[in-house]
């Protein structure tokens, strides 16, 4: 069958929306008719060449929801008609990391930027018969996609698929960074540097954890206003005042208990470190360019002030557990999801959507199929 998809052929060039041939699901695989896909900055890192991939062309997109159309042999827990959220890291359930409860570190994750499916072969092909890779093995910027069952989370059909797509990456990553990785405590102080699609959900996670001071920092005043609606108690625009000095002032001179970096630059990681107080925890979420090898922190202060620097992937959460949990929190009014969607695009408008992302117009743009 055929499927229209947004494909990258070369870094720093626009995505090409074209018709591809899509194979039938093989053993352990399912075919999903996509409903919605989120425009996440991680795809942009690949498009800009900051994060290298194993091959091009590649059908992009790693955040999305849809309905299962068909299943291959060996699939038992998923059936046609199921509503699903795709996970950008598969979880095999068998490797050391999965059996230890850290499914976000599944060994299969090593292949998510390489292009082929789990078995090393391809499901998408262009008009010239050329294999087309799949971003994170799921390529959500495609009308139909064939994925391994390990990349699929079945959800209750009562959940709306537009907001459900967001919990496949952005919400789970940001919320989990606060709740699972940092383990923000009640009454603590929090700084979030960068309040886009990821950082805004760190704010939500910090609020849900009972933080008393939640400082949102961004150069975009519109996002700072949005942050207040999601739970921020204070805001800082680093273009107008010193970020570190203001964060320390807002915490009565001691620095924040938890600092999150969601922009992905060494300088902002350095700011997060400097703004954290004694015994503070710094969580790095953003994907810095692969060429960045150092961060500007003082090893002496790391020791003398007993700070902790942590990385987090997928919010250090188990997607099969976290995705339904987040949708349940939304259903009961405990987190905001609808409010994250600031613009809906057609597949043919995918490049316009990324232009809007770079211009700071969106928290999350989504593609509706």
Q: Which residues are catalytic?
A: 40, 42, 45, 62, 169
Please state, in angstroms and as integers, the Cα–Cα distance from residue 239 to each residue in 60, 220, 224, 357, following that order.
Answer: 33, 9, 13, 19
Query: Cis peptide leading into 57, omega within 30 of 0?
Result: yes
Tokens standing for residue 352: 């316009």
Strand partners, 282: 259, 309
Quickly list DSSP for 16-73. Answer: EEEEEEEPPP-TTEEEEEEEEEE--HHHHHHHHTSS--S-SSEE----EEEEEEEE-T
Please state, in angstroms and as integers, the Cα–Cα distance from residue 76 to each residue in 71, 72, 150, 264, following that order.
Answer: 9, 10, 12, 40
Tokens standing for residue 237: 């625009």
Neighbours of 268 (CB within 10 A): 22
């Amino acid at each position: 069958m055929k499927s229209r998809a947004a494909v990258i052929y070369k870094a720093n060039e626009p995505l090409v929306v074209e018709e591809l041939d899509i194979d039938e699901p093989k053993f352990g695989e399912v075919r999903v008719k996509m409903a919605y896909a989120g425009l996440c900055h991680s795809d942009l890192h690949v498009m800009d060449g900051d994060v290298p991939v194993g091959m091009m062309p590649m059908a992009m997109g790693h955040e999305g929801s849809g309905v299962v159309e068909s299943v291959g042999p060996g699939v038992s827990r998923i059936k046609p008609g199921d509503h699903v959220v795709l996970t950008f890291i598969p979880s095999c359930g068998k490797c050391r990391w999965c059996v230890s409860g850290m499914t976000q570190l599944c060994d299969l994750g090593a292949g998510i930027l390489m292009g082929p499916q789990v078995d090393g072969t391809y499901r998408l092909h262009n008009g010239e018969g050329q294999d087309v890779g799949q971003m994170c093995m799921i390529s959500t910027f495609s009308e139909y996609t064939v994925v391994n069952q390990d990349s699929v989370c079945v959800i209750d059909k009562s959940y709306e698929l537009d907001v459900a797509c967001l919990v496949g990456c952005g919400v789970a990553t940001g919320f989990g960074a606060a709740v699972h990785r940092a383990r923000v405590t009640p009454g603590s102080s929090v700084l979030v540097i960068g309040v886009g699609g990821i950082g805004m959900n760190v704010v939500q996670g910090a609020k849900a954890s009972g933080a008393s001071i939640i400082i949102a920092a961004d150069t975009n005043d519109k996002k700072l206003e949005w942050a207040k609606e999601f739970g921020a108690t204070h805001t800082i625009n680093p273009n107008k005042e010193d970020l570190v000095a203001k964060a320390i002032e807002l915490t009565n001179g001691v620095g924040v208990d938890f600092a999150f970096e969601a922009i992905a630059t060494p300088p902002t990681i350095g700011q997060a470190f400097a703004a954290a107080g004694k015994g503070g925890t710094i969580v790095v979420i953003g994907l810095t360019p692969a060429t960045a090898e150092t961060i500007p922190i003082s090893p002496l202060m790391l020791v003398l002030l007993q700070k902790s620097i942590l990385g987090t992937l997928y919010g250090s959460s188990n997607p099969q557990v976290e995705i339904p949990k987040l949708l349940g929190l939304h259903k009961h009014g405990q987190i905001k999801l609808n409010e994250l969607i600031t613009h809906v695009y057609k597949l043919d408008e995918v490049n316009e959507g990324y232009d809007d992302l770079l211009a700071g117009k969106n928290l999350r743009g989504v593609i509706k199929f």
